[in-house]
Amino acid sequence: MKTRAWLFYAAITTVLWGVWGALIELPEKSGFPATLGYAAWAVTMIPVSAIALRLIHWKLDTDRRSVLLGMGAGLLGCGGQLILFQCLRIGPAYIVFPLISLYPVVTILLSVLFLREKGTRRSWAGIVLALVAIFLLAYQPPGQNSTSGMLWVILSMLVFVMWGVQAFIMKLGSDSNRQESMQAESVTFYLMASAVVLVPVALLMTDFSSPVNWGTEGMVAALLIQLLNAVGFLFFAYALRYGKAIIAVPMMSLAPVITVILSLVLYAVVPHAVTITGMVMAFVAIYLLAE
């Protein structure tokens, strides 16, 4: 990496997504379904992508390669989110989240095999620690969920692969070291387009027979909170453009550290011992990865 800009972008993404994670349940608890939260996120992506395009004087990459990779990455990420909703309806969250959270493994493998990315011993140690930390941070104590069948396992693995491939495609399409790379702002635009295209699916998945909070604590709160996610994605695209995917993706996936800390401050939620262990490992991983 010729520039340290990726570290700044990755840090901003981690903080934004961490704060988003700490607040995201508030609208849902107030009666605004998660599926409508997806629609709110898609809406917030519109001004973010517009600002991004303004930064590059509206010079959107429209060649065939950029459109295919941009929309491909966007549909994989957004489609994975919608599949996750269904997965959580039929499967135990305490297994689903740790499993899906390890999607950086897919990104790392693809980046090493096809992009020939390499790391130092220190960075590889950080990557391994980060992957373990991600798994521990996603841990949730077993609840009373009763599940049957293996559909939720298949759906979990599908999201795991989709998100891992999404990050790889984003890096493949926008790598600053490649002559044919597209701009991070274009990546953000195509993600927005993909998110909007799939909004009808989110609406079909919504149970409108139950009351929906369209007020301040529901829809308005969701829009404001989802804006953090949307802005974070723009910085995520920048981090992948200028940094190595095998390092940047695991680092940004440690956003739950911020979420846990904020949850402790805001809700007085004492982390599980497993989560605390993950936090310690995450801090060590960040130190090793930020070489």
- pLDDT beyond 60 at 148: no
Q: What pLDDT, on the 0 to 100 scale, is given for residue 96? A: 87
Tokens for 93, please give them. Answer: 């969250």
Average confidence (pLDDT) over 175-184 = 85
Task: Choose the weakest-confidence range: 132-136, 159-163, 267-271.
Answer: 267-271
Q: What pLDDT, on the 0 to 100 scale, is given for residue 36? A: 96
- pLDDT beyond 90 at 119: no
- pLDDT tens digit string along 196-221? 999 999 999 999 999 999 999 999 99
CB 272 within 8 A of CB 139: yes
CB 163 within 8 A of CB 50: no
Distance between CA atoms of residues 59 and 191, nearest Å: 16
Average confidence (pLDDT) over 230-239 = 96
Give the CA dihedral 73, 75, 81, 85, nearest 10 degrees. -160
Q: How many domains does the chain have?
A: 1
Q: What pLDDT, on the 0 to 100 scale, is given for residue 98? A: 86
> What domain range is 70 assigned to?
5-289
- pLDDT beyond 50 at 1: no
Average confidence (pLDDT) over 68-78 = 97
Containing 135, the helix (H) or strand (E) segment is helix 121-137
Name the more confident of 112 and 140: 112
Average confidence (pLDDT) over 223-251 = 95
Task: Using the structure block, give the residue that is written with the tokens 């629609």.
Answer: 39
Distance between CA atoms of residues 36 and 52, nearest Å: 25
- pLDDT beyond 50 at 2: no
* DSSP letter for each residue of 188-213: HHHHHHHHHHTHHHHHHTS-TTS---
Global pTM? 0.91
- pLDDT beyond 70 at 277: yes
Nearest to 68 by CA among 193, 162, 157: 193
- pLDDT beyond 80 at 189: yes
* Helices 273-289 and 256-267, axial angle in degrees (round to 10): 130
In sequence order, which residues have a C-beta less than 8 Å from that of residue 265 and are 6 or more positions away?
none
Q: How far is CA 162 from CA 62, 80, 105, 111, in A?
A: 24, 6, 12, 15
Q: What pLDDT, on the 0 to 100 scale, is given for residue 89? A: 86
Share of the chain above pLDDT 70, in %: 96
- pLDDT tens digit string along 74-102? 999 999 999 999 998 888 887 888 889 99
